[in-house]
Amino acid sequence: MTSSYRSGFVSFVGRPNVGKSTLTNAMVGQKVAITSSKPQTTRRAIRGIVHRENGQIIIVDTPGLHRPRTLLGQRLNDLVESTLGDVDVIGFCIPANERIGVGDKFINEQLSNYRRAKLIAIVTKSELVSKKQLAEQLLAVQAMREWSAIIPVSAVAADQLEELATLLISELPISDQLYPDAAVTDETIESRICELVREAALEGVRDELPHSLAVTMDEMNQREGKDLMDVHVNVWVERDSQKSIIIGHKGSRLSDVGRRARLEIEKLLGQRVFLSIRVKVAPDWQRDPKQLGRLGF
DSSP assignments along 132-144, one per residue? HHHHHHHHHHHTT
pLDDT at 63: 63
Strand 228-237 versus strand 214-222 pairing type: antiparallel
pLDDT at 206: 59
Mean pLDDT, rounded, for 232-254: 90
Which residues, listed in sequence order, are joined to residue 233 by a DSSP beta bridge?
217, 277
pLDDT at 195: 84
Mean pLDDT, rounded, for 266-280: 93
Considering only 18-27, 34-43, 244-253, 263-272, which range has the smallest mean pLDDT?
34-43
pLDDT at 36: 59
More confident residue, 83 or 261: 261
**Residues 6+ away with beta carbon under 8 Å from 76:** 40, 43, 63, 66, 68
Residue 90: pLDDT over 50: yes
Q: What pLDDT, in 10s, does the model give residues 25-83?
A: 899 888 777 665 544 544 456 678 999 999 999 998 776 666 667 776 777 777 777 77
**Residues 6+ away with beta carbon under 8 Å from 62:** 11, 12, 13, 20, 42, 45, 79, 80, 83, 84
Q: What pLDDT, in 10s, does the model give residues 138-188?
A: 999 999 999 999 999 999 999 999 999 999 999 999 999 988 888 888 778
pLDDT at 41: 47
pLDDT at 19: 85
| pTM summary value | 0.67
The dihedral through the CA atoms of 171, 172, 173, 175 has a sign that is negative
**Residues 6+ away with beta carbon under 8 Å from 286:** 70, 71, 72, 73, 211, 212, 238, 292
> Which bin fits 284, alpha (ψ -120 to 50), beta or left (φ > 0)?
left
Residue 219: pLDDT over 60: yes
State the Cα–Cα distance between residues 211 and 262, nearest whole angstrom: 22
Strand 228-237 versus strand 46-52 pairing type: unpaired
Walk me through the domains of the chain, giving residue ranges and CATH numbers: 6-171 (3.40.50.300), 189-294 (3.30.300.20)
pLDDT at 286: 75
CA distances from 165 to 64, 91, 179, 290 (A): 22, 12, 17, 41
More confident residue, 251 or 288: 251
More confident residue, 33 or 6: 6
